[in-house]
């Protein structure tokens, strides 16, 4: 199974502010839907809550949280570690697992990722969630 980080980030690596995406780029959202559809996705709890606590359609949805009793919508699988997500996605027969964030989940997934699909936005914005620093020469 291939593990793929997918993210949109500003010039200053911002990925979020106040538990929301601080920009509106419809073309990027269309790209996100097209690329992830039909595959497994994992989001951290805060990122999952931005989906209005419902699963993304036409995907196998995992939410990563420290709370194993965290209540989720039908069709969402709660996991307490990235290793558990990987194991369960493989068991389901998933060919690809897309890592959707947030910052802590990206940080955990970076050493395990096979690929990154990053949209570099031509803006600088204020934020409180940042994509982790990475060595571009390794990619």
Place domain 2-133 in its CATH homologous superfamily. Dihydrofolate Reductase, subunit A (3.40.430.10)
54 pLDDT exceeds 90?
A: no
For the segment 109-122, the average pLDDT, to the nearest whole number, is 97
Report the percent of the chain where pLDDT is more than 90. Answer: 93
Domain positions in the chain: 2-133
E-only strand ranges, the chain: 2-9, 14-16, 40-44, 60-64, 76-79, 96-99, 115-120, 129-130
Task: State residue 51's pLDDT score.
Answer: 86
Confidence of residue 138 (pLDDT cuts 50, 70, 90): confident
- The answer to whether the peptide bond before residue 102 is cis (omega within 30 degrees of 0) is yes
**Residues 85, 90: Cα–Cα separation, whole Å:** 8
Instruction: Read off the pLDDT of residues 56-102 as tens digits, 9 standing for 90 and up.
Output: 999 999 999 999 999 999 999 999 999 999 999 999 999 999 999 99
Q: What is the pLDDT of residue 139?
A: 80
């Amino acid at each position: 199974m291939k593990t793929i980080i997918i993210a949109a980030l500003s010039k200053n690596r911002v990925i979020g502010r106040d538990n929301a995406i601080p920009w509106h780029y419809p073309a990027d959202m269309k790209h996100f839907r097209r690329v992830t559809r039909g595959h497994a996705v994992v989001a951290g709890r805060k990122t999952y809550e931005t989906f209005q606590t419902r699963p993304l359609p036409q995907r196998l949805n995992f939410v990563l949280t420290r709370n194993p009793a965290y209540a989720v919508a039908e069709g969402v699988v709660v996991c307490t570690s990235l290793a558990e997500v990987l194991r369960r996605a493989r068991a389901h027969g998933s060919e690809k697992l897309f890592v959707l964030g947030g910052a802590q989940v990206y940080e955990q997934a970076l050493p395990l990722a096979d690929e990154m699909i990053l949209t570099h936005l031509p803006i600088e914005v204020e934020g409180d969630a940042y994509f982790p620093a990475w060595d571009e020469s390794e990619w």
